Amino acid sequence: MAEKKIKVKLLSYNKNSIRTVTAAIRQCYSSDGAAKISRKVSSEKAKKLIQQIISSGHTSTIEHAVFTFAIEGVSRAMTHQLVRHRIASYSQQSQRYVKEGKLDYIIPPTVSRNKVALKVFNEAIIAANNSYQKLLELEIPAEDSRFLLPNAAETKIVMTMNARALMNFLKERMCVRAQWEIRVLAQEIYKIVYKVAPEIFKYAGPTCETEAICWQGKMHCGKKINKKKQKVEVRERI
C-alpha cells in the first residue's frame, strides 16, 4: 500500500481577522465602540498592535480570529493526540456509521523504510481487517466490529480553532519532540495560516525559534539556543 499524504484545507476563516483582532485590542482601552474603532486603525498600526499583544503574552484578543480546517490522510493514533487540544471543535468520521471496506491506513516512516518491519506491519493490518469483515458478515454491528480496527486506520476530521489556541498548538506540535504525524500536520497548518494572517502567525512555532527558550524544560531536544537572543522575525522553517 502506498503511503498516504496528509491533506489540509482551510474551509473557512474570518477574512477581516486582523481588523477584528485590532478592534478587540483597542476596545479594552477606548470609550468608542468596536465598529467605530475598526475603521480608524491603519494597517500599519494594526500590525504593531498585534505584535505588542503577542509579545506581552496578553493574547486573549486574538481568540476573535477563527479558522476551520478539513484534515484527511491521518491516523486514529494522531487524532487521539489532536483532540487533547481542548480549546477547539472537532467533527470526526465515525467508525460506527462508516463501515470500512478496503481499509486505508497510515504507515509510519520508520516502518516503511524497513522491509521486514513493513511486511510484519502490513500482515497485521490485513489480518485485523479480515477479522473485522468477518464480524460484519456475522451481523456484528459496526460499532462492535470496529474494536478490531487498528490505530493506523485512516480517518478524516474537521477542526475549528481560534488563533490563540492555534498558536499554542503550533508551539507544541512543531517542536521536534512532537510525534512525527502531528508535527507534519502542524507544519501544514502553519503554512496555511501564515499565508492568510501573517500579522498573527509570524510569531508562531516552537519557542526555541520564536523566544530563544525551550518550553520543554529538561525534556528539551538538545538544540543549542542563544540565551541573549530576543524574539525574532519569522523565517523559513518548513
Q: How many residues in total does the chain contain? A: 238
β-strands 89-92, 7-13: how paired?
unpaired
Task: Specify the 3-state DSSP secondary structure of 92.
Answer: strand
Residue of 191, 68, 31, 41 lying closest to 18 (CA atoms): 41
Cβ atoms of 178 and 84 closer than 8 Å: no
Concerning whether 177 is annotated as a catalytic residue, the answer is: no
pLDDT in tens, 104-137: 999 999 999 999 999 999 999 999 999 999 999 9
Q: Could you tell me the three cell numbers for 123?
A: 500482515
Mean pLDDT of the chain: 86
Q: Could you tell me the three cell numbers for 110?
A: 520508520
Cβ atoms of 75 and 151 closer than 8 Å: yes
CATH class assigned to 7-67+82-90+158-205:
alpha beta
User: CA-based angle 77:83:89, to the nearest 5?
Assistant: 140
Domain boundaries, the chain: 7-67+82-90+158-205, 96-152
pLDDT in tens, 49-101: 888 888 888 889 999 999 999 999 999 999 999 999 999 999 999 999 999 88
Instruction: Please give the Cα distance from 57 to 111 (Å, whole number).
Output: 41
Confidence of residue 23 (pLDDT cuts 50, 70, 90): confident
Residue of 155, 212, 216, 209 lying closest to 187 (CA atoms): 209
Instruction: Please give the Cα distance from 88 to 67 (Å, whole number).
Output: 10
Angstrom CA distances, 34 to 13, 29, 59, stand at 20, 11, 17
Residue among 26, 76, 164, 173 flagged as catalytic: 173
